[in-house]
Structure 1
Amino acid sequence: MASRRRTRHAGPPDGGWGWMIVAGCFLVTICTRAVTRCISIFFVEFQAYFGQDYARTAWIHSIVDCATMLCAPLGSLISNHVSCQVGIILGGLLASTGLILSSFATSLEHLYLSLGVLTGLGFALCYSPAIAMVGKYFNKRKALAYGIAMSGSGIGTFILAPVVQLLIEQFSWRGALLILGGFVLNLCVCGALMRPIALKEDHKTAPEFLEQDYVPKAQKRDLKRMSICSPLIKVWSHECLCYCSWKEYDFLLMPDFMVLAVSILFMAYGCSPLFVYLVPYALSVGVSHHQAAFLMSILGVIDIIGNITFGWLTDRRCLKKHRHFCYLFAVGMDGLCCLFLPVLQNFHLLVPFSFTFGYFDGAYVTLIPVVTADVVGTSSLSSALGVVYFLHAIPYLVSPPVAGWLVDTTGSYTASFLLCGFSMIFSSMLLCFARLAKKIKRAHLRSLTNDTGTKQHIWTNGAIAYSVTAELDQKNVEFLAADTNSYSNR
């Protein structure tokens, strides 16, 4: 039914119902990323209740993040082949069920499955399809639309962090998880807002492909008369499906996307542990529980400013062509913030850190889908975002436990934060060197083209163009042929 209501547009409408899509994506990021960040507030509660060390307790947060990103291609697949609305509503039901079951947990293993796997899977079905829908509806104001949509993560963190702390104090961690489970059901409402749209550039779908000359018309007519169980139909449909699946993911062989993918691996490794260990680190240096939760709120609200201002700035004509450099600058600044974090030993020093890290975190999170769209195009954006968020999975799974193991081993957070900082700086430098190498190669090719162009002057006479070098070569050939003939006559 959703596919029947789709209207074909020449290009993204850049407004209209698109602003409702932005509002829906805004609520999706609140219910997914903000709730995931607030799970770090439960860290101390889980550790005290179950009596476990840092490394084992950190697996809860890392499994949520890993499942969300690992199953992102599944969300894109459901969005592309069934409906974005169905995927988000199903994801909301799964995530809510996971949080409600977590409120009855009796062990960390129970939380690994319910809060980690089930809730993470539900978030995965919602997150990447909602973000891709914004890219379908916007082109000229794409970065601004993404800035508003992704600011839900910061606003949600700002509001939910103190609310979750208050819920834990009033109803214990079990009651807080139960209430969060009911709150996450709002994802079903967000899914209902995601009205599908079809663009003329979306020509890679199977129905349109079947209208091409891949199979002769006479053979198609015969196939319609035959049984659906015919081997010929099975072979034909299998070949069509394989072709369409390959066309959906042909961007994987693009050099620009491969470099972006590698840089995202290191960026994801560096950014994840901070959201897990900022509150425990603040508590370890003598900050109170309410002040530690307030640090997360500051980080969240400044995240909003980074989302919207960087989105607006990179839509300006002067910066629109330099979105890659804006992205790598933001990632590098967050890496520097992580390097300086171990020397910040009180609340008054941690507040500026939350401001700076939160701003640049919001900046590069906004630019991830924008940069991805610039690399692969709008028609492949949903599949590409699924792959991009899939690449976050392993770093998100590994980095918090590794950071916890370093804390348990060294008795300090210094090694963990330094590793995160260097990882993000390396991610930024990798993209920077790749872009510079590409510019140098283009300049070299341009110089070669100019050198070749000076040797070939072209005159146009009516509709016919003559090349001087080609004409001279032709005369040389005729002269040699004539000389050979005269020699043979002798």
Structure 2
Amino acid sequence: MTKVTRAQSTSPPDGGWGWMIVAGCFLVTICTRAVTRCISIFFVEFQTYFTQDYAQTAWIHSIVDCVTMLCGLGFALCYSPAIAMVGKYFSRRKALAYGIAMSGSGIGTFILAPVVQLLIEQFSWRGALLILGGFVLNLCVCGALMRPITLKEDHTIPEQNHVCRTQKQDLKRVSPCSRLTKEWVQTCLCCCLQQEYSFLLMSDFVVLAISVLFMAYGCSPLFVYLVPYALSVGVSHQQAAFLMSTLGVIDIIGNITFGWLTDRRFLKNYQYVCYLFAVGLDGLCYLCLPVLRSLPLLVPFSCTFGYFDGAYVTLIPVVTAEIVGTTSLSSALGVVYFLHAVPYLVSPPIAGWLVDTTGSYTAAFLLCGFSMIFSSVLLGFARLIKKTKKTQPRFLAKESDPKLQLWTNGSVAYSVASELDQKDGESVAMAVPGYNPT
């Protein structure tokens, strides 16, 4: 077997092989997220074939998304590592790189939605799933593109790791069943966990994690129920598939343009705010959906929701990297996507239960909308509190400095400040050997 060469770099190259990493991540998102979204098109087929209600049928999509985010199985082994690799190769162009990479979800949805509908009509839902399975095998190609890279910050290893390595050399001559060996294993395990997951104790990350739970609850049901909802208001099957395609292609535009915009100098420091803005607007779109009951009204909805969905999906890794840094980005993203699992599992069945109970989609869509709005408000409120706490010490420092105290009489303020400066100068001069005040 050939030995894998690890690329060496002191800082993210922002290009070079990084664009191949972006291409690999782009194909990964097509094969994972886009294929998962297309299960919405299978929803009516599953419901008809198995003669089940909305809540029962929704478990199919929920389990797919949940297992992807929760375990190290299937799509999860491809999705999170590919996203983390983009963050390793890009710094200055990170938002743009993520925008291109994550646009695969939208492009895949745009292409696959009508194709899947055609496959179902030609080969039934069983044949369509079989063909999609063959397409997903392209993930093997994506894995071949992922070349490891060592960054400058990766060389900053805590002393605990050095102790572990020293102990490991000593333990090579000791029996693997000895007490010393067991203690070394426990110590190294604690060291690794402390280093990899220290961000879990950061207050900013905890708030982000809570916010992600509500955001994930809101975003998932639309991709399950958009097609059934469109069919319920009189839209044809082909037109419903067209809505998914529209959502997908606008998702692409949101991925790329929002990533490019937030990399510009005037928005570079406001990427966090842009993320809140995008999540909140998707929540508002949800609130408007129950009154949109025709194709001419659902198309603008698909455009708006798709754009801001692509926008905030692009910024999730960027916001996470801003909080935890690039060294822990892979682990942090794993936790963030892990937190998607439970909402993805329960939100479509809950929405389906509301549809079955009320006979309408209104309650389900309103609950999703308010959940996403709360996610945005929570992060915004936390950032506001943090800025307030930073401002108070500066204000108190200014208050305690006599040179910065202001009086209503400008001449008095000037003379007092001059006198204080003169005294400070004299005190410094007196400390100099040979100082003579005369």
Distance in 1 (CA, whole Å) between partners of 2:360 and 2:399 is 60
Mean Cα deviation higher: 414-423 or 436-445: 436-445
Q: CA RMSD in A?
A: 2.4
Letter of the aligned partner of 2:216 in structure 1?
A
Indicate yes or no: 2:53 matched with 1:58.
Answer: no
Distance in 2 (CA, whole Å) between partners of 1:18 and 1:306 is 21
- 1:389 maps to what in 2? 337
Distance in 1 (CA, whole Å) between partners of 2:164 and 2:247 is 57
- 1:129 maps to what in 2? 81
Aligned 1:172-187 pairs, distance under 5 A: 172-187=124-139
Indicate yes or no: 2:238 matched with 1:290.
Answer: yes
Contiguous gaps of at least 5 residues in structure 2: 405-419, 432-438
Per-residue deviation, 1:134:
0.2
TM-score, length of structure 2 as denominator length: 0.90
Equivalent of 1:306, from 254, 258, 262? 254
Equivalent of 2:271, from 323, 326, 342? 323
Equivalent of 1:169, from 109, 121, 133? 121
Aligned 1:458-469 pairs, distance under 5 A: none
Equivalent of 2:204, from 236, 252, 256? 256
Does the Cα contact within 8 Å between 2:160 and 2:191 map onto a contact in 1?
no
Indicate yes or no: 2:178 matched with 1:226.
Answer: no
Aligned length: 413
Equivalent of 2:348, from 384, 400, 421? 400
- 1:431 maps to what in 2? 379
Q: 1:336 to 1:222 in 2, by over 3 A?
A: closer
Q: 1:439 to 1:235 in 2, by over 3 A?
A: same
Distance in 2 (CA, whole Å) between partners of 1:27 and 1:169 is 26
Distance in 1 (CA, whole Å) between partners of 2:145 and 2:357 is 49
Distance in 1 (CA, whole Å) between partners of 2:374 and 2:338 is 20
- Helix, strand or coil at the partner of 2:221: helix
- 1:147 maps to what in 2? 99
Per-residue deviation, 1:243:
0.8
Does the Cα contact within 8 Å between 1:128 and 1:386 map onto a contact in 2?
yes
Does the Cα contact within 8 Å between 1:3 and 1:196 map onto a contact in 2?
no
Identical aligned residues as a percent:
78
- Render the CA deviation track for 1:208-255: whole Å, top value 9, x for unaligned: 854x3x3696x6664333334432133123201211111100001111
Letter of the aligned partner of 2:13 in structure 1?
P
Does the Cα contact within 8 Å between 2:26 and 2:104 map onto a contact in 1?
yes
- Helix, strand or coil at the partner of 1:202: helix
Does the Cα contact within 8 Å between 1:54 and 1:407 map onto a contact in 2?
yes
Distance in 1 (CA, whole Å) between partners of 2:18 and 2:421 is 49
Distance in 1 (CA, whole Å) between partners of 2:150 and 2:63 is 35
Per-residue deviation, 1:443:
1.0
- 2:15 maps to what in 1? 15
Per-residue deviation, 1:33:
0.2
- Helix, strand or coil at the partner of 2:15: coil
Distance in 2 (CA, whole Å) between partners of 1:286 and 1:230 is 72
Letter of the aligned partner of 2:379 in structure 1?
L
Equivalent of 1:278, from 211, 216, 226? 226
- 2:306 maps to what in 1? 358
Distance in 2 (CA, whole Å) between partners of 1:389 and 1:134 is 16
Letter of the aligned partner of 2:93 in structure 1?
R
Distance in 2 (CA, whole Å) between partners of 1:336 and 1:132 is 30
Letter of the aligned partner of 1:445 in structure 2?
P
Aligned 1:406-417 pairs, distance under 5 A: 406-417=354-365
TM-score, length of structure 1 as denominator length: 0.80
Q: 1:298 to 1:250 in 2, by over 3 A?
A: same
- Render the CA deviation track for 1:373-405: whole Å, top value 9, x for unaligned: 000000000000000001111111111000000
Distance in 2 (CA, whole Å) between partners of 1:458 and 1:180 is 77
Contiguous gaps of at least 5 residues in structure 1: 75-120, 472-490
Q: 1:222 to 1:168 in 2, by over 3 A?
A: closer
